Structure 1
Amino acid sequence: MLASAHRLTDPDTYRAASRRGRRAGARTVVAHLLPPSEEQVVGMPIRAGFVVSKAVGVAVVRNRVKRRLRHAVRERLDQLPAGSVLVVRAQPKAAVASYDELVADLDHCLRRVLSPTREAR
């Protein structure tokens, strides 16, 4: 479970991260990272949110995917810049992926959005 300070609940922030953030995709997940602006860095925690649509599966499957992603992101919060916003969107193939596959895809996406040589879209 993510601590409440790290949970992303504001729909406008979800939208901003999805539209303006750096994006990287893999077979099972797509990650959107919105880096903090200059005034947000001081004292702002890293916030993470998850999007798991009905295309992934029935409620039981969607909740299992979301739990797995939440656990994987919680272990990787220290890799993200302070004050940033991360939105992780599950692809339909996440429903049949193992935890290890989800983690590998998430790590791949995080490496790409955190890469300093990669241009913002």
Structure 2
Amino acid sequence: MLARAARLRTAEDFRSTIRRGVRCGRPGLVLHMVRTDNPPSRAGFVVSKAVGNAVARNRVKRQLRHLVADRLVRAPFDLDVVVRALPGRTRLADDLDAAWTTAVNRLGVS
């Protein structure tokens, strides 16, 4: 579970992360990541109705929250991250691993 301070909550937080951050797309998700000077690292999730009914969307959000929480703790610097789940996802963990690695590399730390 992400602590309240580790969540993106306002529309402006989401908007600025998407506009200023690097974007990495995979078949199951799109990841937007930006470095920030304000600790702690924060994450937000976007799961549209195209993914499925409310039960399916909430399941996807819970899975993503679990996967991202571990990565935020191990991040080499403070980040804001937005993860957008795409319909027809199959391997969220694999897609997130690949996108996370690419985004961190693009931000300048390997």
TM-score of the alignment, normalized to the shorter chain, above 0.5: yes
The residue that corresponds to 1:106 in the other structure is: 96
Please list the CA deviations of residues 87-116 of structure 1 after superposition, one character each: whole Å capped at 9, or x if unmatched: 00000022xx2xxx2111001000111114
Match of 2:78 among 77, 83, 104: 83
Determine whether 1:12 maps to 2:12: yes
The residue that corresponds to 2:3 in the other structure is: 3
4+ long deviations beyond 6 Å = none
Q: Matched residues, percent identical?
A: 46
Distance 2:41 2:5 in 1: 8
- The number of equivalent residue pairs is 108
Please list the CA deviations of residues 27-83 of structure 1 after superposition, one character each: whole Å capped at 9, or x if unmatched: 1011000111xxx24xx1000000001111111110000000000001111333443
Determine whether 1:24 maps to 2:14: no
Runs of 5+ consecutive residues of structure 2 not aligned to the other structure: none
Q: Contact between 1:24 and 1:113, CA under 8 Å: does it hold in 2? A: yes
Question: Normalising by the residue count of structure 2, what TM-score does the alignment of the two structures yield?
Answer: 0.90
SS of 2:43's equivalent in the other structure is strand
AA partner of residue 27 (structure 1): P
Alignment RMSD: 1.6
Match of 1:54 among 49, 52, 58: 49
- Flag the structure with larger Rg: 1
The residue that corresponds to 1:64 in the other structure is: 59
- Cα gap change, 1:117/1:71 in structure 2, threshold over 3 Å: closer, same or farther? closer
| Greater fraction strand | 2
Q: Contact between 1:45 and 1:82, CA under 8 Å: does it hold in 2? A: no
Q: Contact between 1:8 and 1:48, CA under 8 Å: does it hold in 2? A: yes
Pairwise CA distance, 1:117: 7.7
Question: Normalising by the residue count of structure 1, what TM-score does the alignment of the two structures yield?
Answer: 0.82
